[in-house]
Structure 1
């Protein structure tokens, strides 16, 4: 079944929404971008009109005098060919510059969106799905730029059509007025015709997100799908979504073909009736030139309508982008934000802190709303699975409920206070965090470990050898070989140790490790415990673990229990 059109109320409201979006898109592009785009469009139209003028003048020149008085037709034709070639070269440069403008605009939109995603709070990111975000970055931003480009092209074609229609009057004079009025009536009918492009464009936005979500799920969960022999399930899901995409494409082609047939019939009927009524009043030159100009005007009209449809059909991409960006706008003037000077932050990142106190005012799934770490001490969190240890660690690290968190850092006789989302971003520069499930990127092993930081290769190799990962250096390309991750190239234990190493290479004054000995055999786990013992003597250290040997070496063990509100209700026991 084809999807229902996603209409936005009465046509007047939809048209008002379209105008508002176009105005906002124009402001976002900027006057310089629009000026360049408009100038290139006008130049393209003038070149097209000039080429037609040269051809008409040559073909309809008087006798053998040719296009230029004193030159034969062959010489005039050579000049025409040269000018047309020059026009083609200029038009190619215009097309290149238009593409440069378009790609620059899309790159700017992508960078802005990624910056907003990176700066957004965890609560804001919870509203965005992976498929939606990928669709925005890969498809909807391209559609946004295309919509703006087609809006300018529509203006360009309207200008060209106006010039052609003016030429019809100048060439045909009084006899051309009926034809001109009929063509204007055809233009009005074409522009006022409802195409449904807006509704189809909204369906396209939804399909883009669905397809990106399905493909992302398939690649991310490839091993799970194979293990469960569930490839058919995902393929069926993909087939349903691509079927809607095929319906959408067919519908657009059908509507465009229907319009083209209607337009061509109407234009030919208008021209035929005009010729019939004018009869012998038309000279051969005037008739031929007028019909050529009328045909070009109708072709410009076709471009206007096509550009309008493409503009409206792709404008929902900008609508989706605008809606998601509004969800990512940070709270302005948040009183909870408390930061410190950048110079002090740099000093703290290399200092040895004596104490860190964290507290939160947010409702938590555990009863703990504060933690305190001291130097030369290892604080360990333990508790049953699902009790909220990882959630507590994420909040402590400023990765969850940042707006409601507060940190106090002590060093010597100085005290610094951080709070809110801005304070959490500064805490990220002081904490090295190794989550329980490490994430690898499709980059080199070096980039995966350093994430843009600088460390000497000897340091990396020494760590890999100590953690039993020296065999990774034997891969072709060593540290600089790219990782292809469609199929997992590493074991769970290797990925986990790489995640720990990534945190240790950051060398921050605060380290947080979530289940550091999970997924490891006895030998690897003992090596990790040894590293933790050493590093806990040099910095503040917080871990979560079920490992009894690791808990035994902790200076403080905190047992985390889920809050009563998060526990499932239990039925009362029945009497035997």
Structure 2
């Protein structure tokens, strides 16, 4: 449920990273892992591969048969002697088109299904990292991994494996046919094909290996710069930093363009070398066959077929230089995805989770809680103890960096704690599954997101089965129903770009309505007044405390006005509850603990 309230992929400075920096991966092992992720679709992909190989074989056979037919027809034989070849040419021409259509249809169907399934697995691997683990990645880089890097699976299948399989089938068939017509010619053709494959694609791959990883990293860097420029335009303008930010993006784009030019030059040179091999093969095969033809052992029609086979075989190798470059890029992108899969989750789920059953109001007991972020030596929470009474509203005051948000993260099992305990309904939270904990303890986090969708859709994220009455009740308790009803389309009003843009206070109340609609046993609200002016913040806090009456609530804020409706006010300093403040009950209207 918390993923509904958090923009998990956004980098926030308020929550330190809790995972080690991502290390680049290389070699073939990530590519093998990528292939293993695609194995569930092997039947569709194998069918597409057979269709691709069949299409190329039909094209080669068409060229060879047509050349035999033209040469034989020049000898003016009886029509019956060439009728089979005529039928074969027609059948191969039709079959080539049908197989090419099947190759495209089956190939893209299988690949798109495989990529969609693989993208889902990448997203599933990302979910346990959010939100505490995602700051290890820049948001633009994370988006690149989820979109562009996952598309590497598509390139691996369509632009590498299928063309390579088709080329291998044509080369084997051409060499075998040439050997049947004249063993010497088949040997020459086979040797030249082997040398060309060994020399050209492997050389291109060696060159591309040095640039593939750099290009993948640069594309991710450019995406991060673009996100910074678009999402942080206002801040960059305020500090006069647009020029420097744009310069960094232009530099990354220029480096990518330089690598692309190097790639185009290398691919062109490789294609030229293959053409030289093709010409050499034509001359060598014909030269090896001239002696047999002069002795009358090799008919003229067979000599023509051998010449055409040498051309057709090397035509099938034409996609391999580009495929070699693609392979280097796929290796780099697969390595980045492997880093994502291998990034440890901030919280390890228990091997045998205990059920967390809550019936009615429930209290929370926090004892000697210690949380240490991996990037910091000092603990963010150092022996903190706190009791949240059932059905009461507890306000947690503290300056920025005092540990308030870390406590929320620990309660919602976004971060683990190295010492102490958190008990809810007699259960230690460490022994419960994370989704069970967040079913009981959830609410409004600092990075809660209002999506570009209707008000109704934003609210229904909390409870998809809620009816209009429940939506109106949640909006009324959040003091936003009047504003919603004043809009022309009411709950069906679209929010965001080209739609209604809520103010800061309206956005906060909308998020509060979503949290209230979720109706968790323990409601947590993390800095709900951030960004509001003091008067608006005081009004929002007063409305929140009124809306959460008789509900176990933890309200985290640094504001000290508008708290007269709180049942308990606690101050946190340097990761600890201030002496004399823990668990102090307070009647409504009593002085706030300072």
Scaled to the shorter chain, the TM-score interval is 0.7 to 0.9
| Cα pair 2:393 2:568 within 8 Å, conserved | yes
Distance change in 2, residues 1:262/1:553 (3 Å)? same
| Cα pair 2:185 2:306 within 8 Å, conserved | no
Partner of 1:185: 195
Partner of 1:449: 459
Distance in 2 of aligned mates of 1:77 and 1:278: 26
| Cα pair 2:392 2:567 within 8 Å, conserved | yes
**Counterpart check, 1:42 vs 2:46:** no
Partner of 2:394: 379
Partner of 2:556: 544
**Counterpart check, 1:491 vs 2:491:** no
| Cα pair 2:149 2:334 within 8 Å, conserved | yes
Partner of 1:60: 68
Partner of 2:336: 320
Residue 546 of structure 1, CA deviation: 4.2
Identify unmatched segments of 5+ residues in structure 2: 1-24, 294-298, 373-378, 577-594
Residue 381 of structure 1, CA deviation: 1.5
Distance change in 2, residues 1:203/1:104 (3 Å)? same
Partner of 1:432: 442
Distance in 1 of aligned mates of 2:323 and 2:113: 21
| Cα pair 1:65 1:72 within 8 Å, conserved | no
| Cα pair 1:147 1:311 within 8 Å, conserved | yes
Partner of 1:529: 542
Matches within 5 A, 1:367-516: 367=382, 369-401=384-416, 406-410=421-425, 415-419=426-430, 422-436=432-446, 438-451=448-461, 453=463, 454-464=465-475, 467-468=479-480, 470-475=482-487, 477-485=489-497, 489-516=501-528
Q: Secondary structure at the match of 1:301?
A: coil
**Counterpart check, 1:104 vs 2:113:** yes
Q: Secondary structure at the match of 1:302?
A: coil
Distance change in 2, residues 1:488/1:228 (3 Å)? farther
Per the normalisation by structure 1, the TM-score is: 0.81
Residue 429 of structure 1, CA deviation: 0.6
Kindly provide the CA deviation profile for residues 245-298 of structure 1, in whole angstroms up to 9, marking residues without a partner as x. 111111111001011112212331342355456546445423321121111111
Matches within 5 A, 1:120-159: 120=129, 124-149=133-158, 150-159=160-169
Distance in 2 of aligned mates of 1:428 and 1:18: 40
Per the normalisation by structure 2, the TM-score is: 0.79
- Comparing 87-96 with 492-501, which one deviates more in the overlay? 87-96
Distance change in 2, residues 1:405/1:249 (3 Å)? farther
| Cα pair 1:381 1:559 within 8 Å, conserved | yes
Q: Secondary structure at the match of 1:484?
A: coil
Matches within 5 A, 1:200-239: 200-239=211-250
Distance in 2 of aligned mates of 1:102 and 1:403: 44
Relative to its length, the structure with more helix (as a share) is 1
| Cα pair 1:403 1:419 within 8 Å, conserved | no
Q: Secondary structure at the match of 2:456?
A: helix
Q: Secondary structure at the match of 1:193?
A: helix
Q: RMSD between aligned alpha carbons?
A: 3.5
Residue 465 of structure 1, CA deviation: 5.4
Residue 540 of structure 1, CA deviation: 1.0
